[in-house]
Amino acid sequence: METLLEKTFEPKLYKQDISQQNSDVLVIILLYKNFDFTSSLTPYDLDICGKKMWEWVALSVGDCEVKTTVATKESDILSLIKPYLNNKRYTMVLYSDTPLFCGTTFTEVVNYIKLRGAKAIKLPRGYIFETEYLKSITSLLSDSVTKLGNDYDFFEVKNPEKLYEVRQIMKQRILDFHIANGVNILDKATTQIDADVVISYGTTISQNNVITGLTYIGKNCKIEPNNIIHDSVISDNCIVKCSYIDESRISENMIVGPFESIVGKSN
């Protein structure tokens, strides 16, 4: 895909703007094996709008150092995380099954422990510690939970039904992001856009469109109904009609379709 996508854009939808003051935080994500899922994939690798479940959690903490380790319900969390500790002042432990956790709540949690001067805080799903304190303890916290963020931040994907619900929430977040940036989406119910898709202002997306992967759509395009576009570049002022486009580049001012299949081409 690098041969088709120019390095003039970078998907930024969920790259959180985490302030530099949080660079002293190590984040450990517990890749949680929930055996209520029967998929051949482990739950934390299941897809949510183009990203694995655990990747959403990693994106929420910006450029902080992130480490991962597999955990189950029976795991001793303390013994799992201690080998990963370093010289960062704070260590936050999050779970892969909370993909709606967001950057603003991450910052809120870090600021909270700093302002309170606390050694450790138990979150609705996860923890934050002063790292030197964490190195010294032999058991985890009591059941007292500090409520920070909102209900969505720690919404736990326990089963396929919850996964479906999270996918719908994430889908709406992505669509709302594009609408706020000047993209005209005519029917949110029938439009699917993955997290890494970039769409420029002035473009119209009609009903029944699926746009996935590392796709870029330029300014003032018209994506008419019933297209599938994957890992492709649609340049400015194009019209796409009822077509399939995969790993291809469409030049400016082109009309594609109806009923075209374009795979691995540059027009």
> What confidence score (pLDDT) does residue 9 get?
35
Rounded CA separation 101/131 (Å): 22
Rounded CA separation 215/234 (Å): 8
Match 């996860």 to its residue by tokens.
126
Peptide bond before residue 124 is cis, with ω within 30 degrees of 0? no
Those residues of the chain that have pLDDT short of 70 are: 1-22, 39-40, 141-143
Q: Of 245, 250, 253, 247, whose CA–CA distance to 227 is shortest?
A: 245
pTM of the entire predicted model: 0.86
End-to-end Cα separation, the chain, in angstroms: 16
> What confidence score (pLDDT) does residue 143 get?
65
> What confidence score (pLDDT) does residue 146 get?
81
Assign residue 178 a region: left if phi > 0, alpha if psi is -120 to 50, beta otherwise?
alpha
| Nearest-10 Cα torsion for 76, 79, 84, 86 | 120
Task: List, in order of start, the domains of the chain with CATH numbers.
Answer: 20-160 (3.90.550.10), 181-263 (2.160.10.10)
